[in-house]
Structure 1
Amino acid sequence: MSDHHREIVTFAVKCLDFEGAIEAARDLWRLPTGVDYLIDFGPLKWLEPFGMLYFARQLRTFANERKPSRCQAKNHEGHGYAAHMGFFQSFGLNFGKEAGAANGSVVYIPITEVNIRKLHIEAGQSQVQVQEIIERHCAKLAAVLARNDGGPLQHTLGFSLREILRNVTEHSNADSIWYAAQYWPNKQLVELSILDQGRGIRTTLSRNPHLIINSDEDAIRLALKPGISGRAYEGAPQLRDDAWANSGYGLFMTSQICARGGSFALCSGDRGLLLNGEAEKVLDAGFSGTAIRMCIYVPEVLALNEALKEFSSRGEYLAGQAGKSASMRASVSSRMLTKDFSSE
């Protein structure tokens, strides 16, 4: 039971883009213990899919860990977009749509939870590998966001989603994957944001005995290098030899796609890294899991199939320079767009 005489601390949420959400969550955890909390959404001026996913997960964890302190919200009623995207329901506030309840449209996919155990059950029932179920799921999402154009954008989105969801399913030990997406027509950008509360990148990569990892930032930077994996390295047990074999190229390839006019951001442990063209920004974070934001610049994806071959070749060359710690060859799935894969 909450003590009715407990002091109430008000916390104002102002901006939920990539940097704003990381900063807000960091400040949230710095609040004193032994008080009740009032989360004020009145000052909130801007939200993006990543910010909603990340802050909602952090707020839910915060509210659970600070019990018996109470967490309440105010001034949330004016945020129709966030309510429709399932933001408030996803951290436990009974307002707006449930996560995944909105139908989605040609410009957005609401906050959605995918239970990883259910993916494995579905794969077993269909007698296919779980990666095949992920492929189907991603193809549907990509079709929504690309307005069913059947062209390079749809295939690029399918590829990017598939590589990230595969990473989570194969490495994270998480119970669920959370994602949301938005198409910004005026900027010609598609934002895909994906999050899990699993073991995080540093723990995952630490299984590779050839890697020296001294910090979460080291781990994030290594994860973006081609062929770096917690499973694919010289001497690692080869669990499979097929199109889905893990090769450590998924994050490298997707970050390269985003580099062409968009941006790529990754947050795990106590660090966040934002890559925008040649520029980069490192942020202090605090997240037990992995959160990714991909911003894909639509005009640049038109020649993507050739670009994937180029990224793959470049990545394999760089992995060759890295030696034993790296896998020398991108898996077939990492070298193929959705359309190529489906027609095999």
Structure 2
Amino acid sequence: MTTISLPTYFDRDTLSGFFNELEKHIDTDDVCLDCSTIRFSKPTAMLVAGSKIRSWVRSRHRRGLKTRKKGVDTYSSAHSYLKHIGFFDFVLMGAGNCVGEARGSSTYIPITRITKPELGEGENALEQWYEDIQSKVRGLARVISGKPETHQDNRMYNYALREIIRNVFEHSGCEECYVFGQRWFDGAVEIVVVDEGVGIGCTLRETLGDITDQEALKQAIKPGVSRTSQLSDAENTFDNSGFGLYVLTEVARSFGLYVLTEVARSFGWYALGSNSAKLIGYESNLEESTLNFNGTYFGFRLTRSPSDFSSLAKDIIKAGEQEANVDGIERKASAMSKLF
């Protein structure tokens, strides 16, 4: 029997080696996943690792390979936390709360499954589709912001969750995605959305041709870049303009802290990963690396919120439209991308 230990720390930069071990033993007949090694967990890394594990486990089950678990019942604060938020159910280990069972608290969202709403017919069908998504994220944004709906913090997280989730349902081919988020007592916030769809590279190749996954990610964070860029208004069913992800990466980048220590660098960043590629952005830095992941995730952490998110987002969109125009992209940000 081969044993694979989960990382001691589920953090942004600790997953590559673990993922490589999973892939190395994807075809090994008898493998045990040892969960007793976990001591600490951050939102983005936890949900991304969870998606990877469940994909790995499902692949092995389909082929009749023996997969064991160990250490799920380890007594520690980390294990209690992961059980409570639904992690072990999410990774198909059958322990703790089921996904959606935990109620969360005033400072965190447990692992939450969001399903794609139906797009109806009629003049207001698209507006209703957007509202269905908005209704799904409204309560999540209130928890993460810790503020009433009229507050700028709440508007920002409403915008962030809405834009990420609608991107999932417009492009990934998925009928569901998963969300997790936490707000700490010092005001720092981290949220992540994961889908298990076709990936950004697959969708952007429809418009940009034969590009790598890494090139696709770098294009995806530019203003006005979308698989719908060359579609007519009639064909662009969801009125996608390619500005939502651009706005979010610019906000995260602008409010990141640039400090040389590794600990401090864990604050103020965004992470975008899809299939074989990953980007981490903070201030003017963009780190590129490889990944082995089925789907797409977007996570970001802010140490503080902008004092006036609406004004900041408008400025970012204005600059983005000018940048897109220079690059030969005439499409403006959609009405939804401008709704703060």
Normalising by the residue count of structure 2, what TM-score does the alignment of the two structures yield?
Answer: 0.87
CA–CA distance in structure 2, aligned partners of residues 155 and 297 of structure 1: 17
Q: CA distance change for structure 1 residues 168 and 308 in 2, over 3 Å: closer, same or farther?
A: same
Per the TM alignment, residue 21 of structure 1 is displaced from its structure 2 partner at its CA by 2.9
Aligned to 2:219: 222
* Alignment-mate amino acid for residue 132 of structure 1: E
Aligned partner of 1:29: which letter? E
Counterpart-to-counterpart distance in 2, 1:147 and 1:309 = 23
1:69 corresponding residue in structure 2: 65
**1: CA distance, partners of 2:60 / 2:236:** 46
Deviations 1:150-203 (A, max 9, x none): 3111100000111111101111101311111111223x3211100111111011
Unaligned runs of 5+ in 1: 1-7, 338-344
CA separation of 1:32/1:113 partners in 2, compared to 1, >3 Å: closer, same or farther? Answer: closer
Q: What secondary structure does 1:288 align onto?
A: coil
Instruction: Say yes or no: does 1:335 pair with 2:328.
Output: no
Deviations along 1:269-317, one digit per CA (max 9) or x if unpaired, are 111111122223222211221111121332x421211111110011001
Secondary structure, aligned partner of 2:234: coil
The TM-score, its normalising length taken from structure 1, stands at 0.86
1:172 paired with 2:172, answer yes
Please list every run of at least 4 consecutive aligned residues from structure 1 whose deviation after the TM superposition is greater than 4 angstroms. Answer: none
Residue 298 of structure 2 aligns with an amino acid whose one-letter code is I
| Aligned match of 1:3 | none
Count of residues in Structure 1 that have an aligned counterpart in Structure 2: 318
Equivalent residue for 1:5? none
Alignment check: 8 A CA contact 1:213 1:219 kept: no
Pairing of 1:1-344 with structure 2 (within 5 A): 8-14=1-7, 15-31=9-25, 33-67=27-61, 68-77=64-73, 78=75, 79-116=79-116, 119-120=117-118, 129-150=128-149, 151-186=151-186, 188-208=187-207, 211-233=208-230, 236-239=231-234, 245-259=239-253, 260-261=255-256, 262-298=268-304, 300-323=305-328, 326-337=329-340
Q: Partner of 2:229: helix, strand, or coil?
A: coil
Look up the equivalent residue of 2:2 and give its one-letter code: V
Name structure 2 gaps, 5 residues minimum: 257-267
**Deviation for aligned residue 1:225:** 0.1
Report the identity percentage.
26
**C-alpha distance in 2 between matches for 1:276 and 1:23:** 23
| 1:212, distance to aligned residue in structure 2 (A) | 4.7
Structure 1 residues 41-50 or 265-274, which shifts more?
41-50
State the distance in 1 between where 2:170 and 2:17 align: 29
Question: In the alignment, what sits opposite 2:261?
Answer: none
CA contact 2:213–2:274 (8 Å) conserved in 1:
yes
Task: Give the Å deviation of 1:98.
Answer: 0.6
By how many angstroms is 1:22 displaced? 4.0
Q: Calculate the aligned-residue CA RMSD, in Å.
A: 2.2
